[in-house]
Amino acid sequence: MNTVRGLFLTLEGVDGAGKSTHIDWLVQELRSRGIDVLSTREPGGTPVGEKLRELLLHEPMHLECETLLMFAARAEHLRTVIEPALAKGSWVLCDRFTDATFAYQGGGRALGTARVAALEAWLHPDLQPDRTWLFDVPLAVARERLNRTREQDRFEREADAFFERTRAVYLERATHEPVRFAIVDSTRSIEAIRHDLEIDLDILVKLWAGGI
Protein backbone atom coordinates (compact mmCIF):
# COMPACT_ATOMS: atom_id res chain seq x y z
CA MET A 1 0.00 0.00 0.00
CA ASN A 2 1.27 3.48 -0.84
CA THR A 3 1.85 5.79 2.10
CA VAL A 4 -0.25 8.95 1.90
CA ARG A 5 1.99 12.01 1.74
CA GLY A 6 1.85 14.20 4.86
CA LEU A 7 0.63 17.78 4.77
CA PHE A 8 3.04 20.69 4.63
CA LEU A 9 2.01 23.59 6.87
CA THR A 10 3.83 26.91 7.13
CA LEU A 11 3.65 29.96 9.38
CA GLU A 12 4.50 33.38 8.02
CA GLY A 13 4.35 37.02 9.01
CA VAL A 14 6.59 40.00 9.70
CA ASP A 15 8.84 39.93 12.75
CA GLY A 16 6.73 40.62 15.83
CA ALA A 17 3.54 39.22 14.26
CA GLY A 18 3.31 36.59 17.02
CA LYS A 19 3.48 33.33 15.06
CA SER A 20 6.06 31.72 17.38
CA THR A 21 3.59 31.81 20.29
CA HIS A 22 1.51 29.17 18.54
CA ILE A 23 4.06 26.69 17.19
CA ASP A 24 4.40 24.31 20.16
CA TRP A 25 0.66 24.51 20.71
CA LEU A 26 -0.03 23.57 17.07
CA VAL A 27 2.31 20.58 17.37
CA GLN A 28 0.45 19.40 20.48
CA GLU A 29 -2.93 19.88 18.82
CA LEU A 30 -1.85 17.84 15.81
CA ARG A 31 -0.39 15.06 17.96
CA SER A 32 -3.60 14.94 20.00
CA ARG A 33 -5.40 14.31 16.69
CA GLY A 34 -3.12 11.33 16.01
CA ILE A 35 -0.91 13.13 13.48
CA ASP A 36 2.81 12.45 13.30
CA VAL A 37 4.29 15.95 12.94
CA LEU A 38 7.75 17.39 12.51
CA SER A 39 8.28 20.99 13.62
CA THR A 40 11.09 22.90 11.94
CA ARG A 41 12.11 26.37 10.78
CA GLU A 42 13.77 28.46 8.08
CA PRO A 43 16.39 29.56 7.69
CA GLY A 44 17.61 26.51 9.61
CA GLY A 45 16.23 23.07 10.29
CA THR A 46 19.48 21.21 9.49
CA PRO A 47 23.05 21.48 10.87
CA VAL A 48 24.17 23.35 7.72
CA GLY A 49 21.00 25.45 7.69
CA GLU A 50 21.46 26.53 11.30
CA LYS A 51 25.01 27.69 10.50
CA LEU A 52 23.70 29.63 7.53
CA ARG A 53 21.00 31.11 9.79
CA GLU A 54 23.66 32.55 12.08
CA LEU A 55 25.31 34.24 9.11
CA LEU A 56 22.03 35.43 7.63
CA LEU A 57 20.73 36.95 10.85
CA HIS A 58 23.92 38.65 11.98
CA GLU A 59 26.41 39.15 9.14
CA PRO A 60 25.98 42.09 6.75
CA MET A 61 26.01 40.84 3.12
CA HIS A 62 24.96 41.70 -0.41
CA LEU A 63 21.29 41.14 -1.19
CA GLU A 64 22.07 38.53 -3.84
CA CYS A 65 24.23 36.62 -1.39
CA GLU A 66 21.43 36.82 1.20
CA THR A 67 18.83 35.52 -1.24
CA LEU A 68 21.00 32.66 -2.47
CA LEU A 69 21.92 31.65 1.08
CA MET A 70 18.23 31.55 2.03
CA PHE A 71 17.73 29.14 -0.85
CA ALA A 72 20.93 27.20 -0.07
CA ALA A 73 19.64 26.58 3.45
CA ARG A 74 16.26 25.69 1.96
CA ALA A 75 17.78 23.19 -0.48
CA GLU A 76 19.43 21.27 2.36
CA HIS A 77 16.28 21.47 4.45
CA LEU A 78 13.96 20.34 1.67
CA ARG A 79 16.04 17.46 0.40
CA THR A 80 17.20 16.06 3.72
CA VAL A 81 14.30 16.84 6.09
CA ILE A 82 11.05 18.13 4.60
CA GLU A 83 10.63 15.90 1.55
CA PRO A 84 11.62 12.65 3.32
CA ALA A 85 9.24 13.44 6.21
CA LEU A 86 6.31 14.21 3.89
CA ALA A 87 7.03 11.07 1.84
CA LYS A 88 6.80 8.84 4.88
CA GLY A 89 3.44 10.37 5.80
CA SER A 90 4.50 12.82 8.52
CA TRP A 91 3.13 16.31 8.53
CA VAL A 92 5.67 19.12 8.51
CA LEU A 93 5.06 22.38 10.36
CA CYS A 94 7.60 24.91 9.16
CA ASP A 95 8.21 28.33 10.69
CA ARG A 96 8.66 30.28 7.39
CA PHE A 97 9.34 29.01 3.88
CA THR A 98 9.64 30.50 0.37
CA ASP A 99 6.85 33.06 0.94
CA ALA A 100 9.30 34.69 3.37
CA THR A 101 11.87 35.13 0.59
CA PHE A 102 9.26 36.73 -1.67
CA ALA A 103 8.21 39.02 1.18
CA TYR A 104 11.56 39.90 2.80
CA GLN A 105 14.08 39.80 -0.06
CA GLY A 106 11.60 40.40 -2.89
CA GLY A 107 9.54 43.06 -1.08
CA GLY A 108 11.39 44.34 1.99
CA ARG A 109 14.72 44.55 0.20
CA ALA A 110 13.06 45.32 -3.14
CA LEU A 111 14.72 42.53 -5.15
CA GLY A 112 11.42 41.96 -6.90
CA THR A 113 9.56 38.76 -7.68
CA ALA A 114 11.29 37.37 -10.78
CA ARG A 115 14.56 36.17 -9.24
CA VAL A 116 12.89 34.63 -6.22
CA ALA A 117 10.42 32.91 -8.54
CA ALA A 118 13.32 31.57 -10.64
CA LEU A 119 14.99 30.05 -7.57
CA GLU A 120 11.69 28.61 -6.41
CA ALA A 121 11.14 27.06 -9.85
CA TRP A 122 14.58 25.47 -9.66
CA LEU A 123 14.35 24.14 -6.10
CA HIS A 124 10.73 23.17 -5.62
CA PRO A 125 8.67 23.53 -8.81
CA ASP A 126 6.08 21.03 -7.62
CA LEU A 127 5.91 21.65 -3.89
CA GLN A 128 3.85 24.33 -2.17
CA PRO A 129 2.61 24.36 1.40
CA ASP A 130 -0.87 22.86 1.79
CA ARG A 131 -1.73 25.56 4.30
CA THR A 132 0.04 28.83 5.10
CA TRP A 133 -1.08 30.78 8.13
CA LEU A 134 -0.15 34.42 7.63
CA PHE A 135 -0.01 36.15 11.01
CA ASP A 136 -0.83 39.73 10.24
CA VAL A 137 -0.44 42.82 12.42
CA PRO A 138 -0.02 46.52 11.68
CA LEU A 139 3.47 47.94 11.99
CA ALA A 140 2.88 49.60 15.38
CA VAL A 141 1.85 46.31 16.97
CA ALA A 142 4.82 44.42 15.48
CA ARG A 143 7.21 47.10 16.74
CA GLU A 144 5.70 47.06 20.20
CA ARG A 145 6.10 43.28 20.43
CA LEU A 146 9.64 43.33 19.08
CA ASN A 147 10.74 45.94 21.59
CA ARG A 148 9.80 43.53 24.34
CA THR A 149 12.10 40.78 23.06
CA ARG A 150 15.80 40.01 23.27
CA GLU A 151 18.48 41.72 21.23
CA GLN A 152 17.30 42.28 17.66
CA ASP A 153 18.78 40.69 14.54
CA ARG A 154 19.58 42.26 11.15
CA PHE A 155 15.99 41.97 9.91
CA GLU A 156 14.30 43.10 13.11
CA ARG A 157 16.41 46.27 13.13
CA GLU A 158 15.17 47.32 9.67
CA ALA A 159 13.28 50.60 9.11
CA ASP A 160 9.48 50.92 9.12
CA ALA A 161 9.33 51.08 5.31
CA PHE A 162 11.00 47.65 5.10
CA PHE A 163 8.31 46.16 7.36
CA GLU A 164 5.56 47.79 5.33
CA ARG A 165 6.92 46.46 2.03
CA THR A 166 7.37 42.99 3.52
CA ARG A 167 3.86 42.96 4.95
CA ALA A 168 2.40 44.24 1.68
CA VAL A 169 3.93 41.37 -0.32
CA TYR A 170 2.65 38.83 2.20
CA LEU A 171 -0.87 40.24 1.97
CA GLU A 172 -0.70 40.38 -1.83
CA ARG A 173 0.35 36.72 -2.00
CA ALA A 174 -2.41 35.74 0.39
CA THR A 175 -4.96 37.55 -1.76
CA HIS A 176 -3.76 35.75 -4.88
CA GLU A 177 -3.83 32.31 -3.24
CA PRO A 178 -6.85 32.37 -0.95
CA VAL A 179 -7.12 28.58 -0.74
CA ARG A 180 -3.59 27.98 0.48
CA PHE A 181 -3.35 31.04 2.75
CA ALA A 182 -5.33 31.77 5.87
CA ILE A 183 -4.80 35.30 7.14
CA VAL A 184 -4.74 35.34 10.93
CA ASP A 185 -5.59 38.70 12.49
CA SER A 186 -2.86 38.51 15.09
CA THR A 187 -3.93 41.61 17.01
CA ARG A 188 -6.55 39.40 18.71
CA SER A 189 -6.13 37.40 21.93
CA ILE A 190 -4.20 34.13 21.89
CA GLU A 191 -7.45 32.29 22.73
CA ALA A 192 -9.36 33.82 19.82
CA ILE A 193 -6.57 32.98 17.40
CA ARG A 194 -6.33 29.39 18.66
CA HIS A 195 -10.05 28.97 18.31
CA ASP A 196 -9.77 29.70 14.58
CA LEU A 197 -6.66 27.55 14.21
CA GLU A 198 -8.42 24.61 15.85
CA ILE A 199 -11.26 24.81 13.35
CA ASP A 200 -8.75 24.89 10.52
CA LEU A 201 -6.82 21.94 11.93
CA ASP A 202 -9.99 19.87 12.19
CA ILE A 203 -10.75 20.57 8.53
CA LEU A 204 -7.21 19.69 7.41
CA VAL A 205 -7.14 16.45 9.39
CA LYS A 206 -10.54 15.45 8.01
CA LEU A 207 -9.54 16.20 4.42
CA TRP A 208 -6.27 14.33 4.80
CA ALA A 209 -7.85 11.30 6.43
CA GLY A 210 -10.32 11.25 3.56
CA GLY A 211 -7.40 11.25 1.10
CA ILE A 212 -7.68 14.74 -0.47
Q: Considering Cα of 101, then 107, then 13, then 162, what sign does the dihedral take?
A: positive
User: In this structure, what are the phi and psi dihedrals at residue 72, rounded to the nearest 5 degrees?
Assistant: -65, -45
The residue within the footprint of ligand TMP, chosen from 29, 30, 35, 42 (CB under 6 A), is 42
Going edge to edge, which strands form the sheet with 37-41?
A: 37-41, 91-95, 8-12, 131-136, 181-185
Identify residue 4 by its one-letter amino acid code: V
Please answer whether residues 13 and 19 qualify as being in contact, where contact means their C-beta atoms are separated by less than 8 angstroms: yes
Please report how close the Cβ of residue 17 comes to ligand TMP at its closest, in angstroms.
Answer: 9
Please report how close the Cβ of residue 186 comes to ligand TMP at its closest, in angstroms.
Answer: 13
Considering beta carbons, is residue 10 or 90 the nearer one to ligand TMP? 10
Residues 134, 151: Cα–Cα separation, whole Å: 24
Considering beta carbons, is residue 70 or 85 the nearer one to ligand TMP? 70
Considering beta carbons, is residue 47 or 207 the nearer one to ligand TMP? 47
Subset of residues 46 to 105 that bind ligand TMP, contact rule: CB under 6 A: 70, 95-96, 100-101, 104-105
User: Which residues does residue 185 pair with via DSSP β-bridges, in sequence order?
Assistant: 136
Instruction: Kindly write out the interface string for residues 96-115 of this chain, putting x where it contacts ligand TMP by CB under 6 A and - elsewhere.
Output: x---xx--xx----------
15 makes contact with ligand TMP (CB under 6 A): yes
- Per DSSP, 16 falls in state T
- Reduced to 3 states (helix: H, G, I; strand: E, B; else coil), residue 19 is helix
Identify residue 212 by its one-letter amino acid code: I
Considering beta carbons, is residue 42 or 130 the nearer one to ligand TMP? 42
Question: With CB under 6 A, what is the number of residues at the site for ligand TMP?
Answer: 12
Subset of residues 126 to 155 that bind ligand TMP, contact rule: CB under 6 A: 155
The residues binding ligand TMP (CB under 6 A) are: 15, 41-43, 70, 95-96, 100-101, 104-105, 155
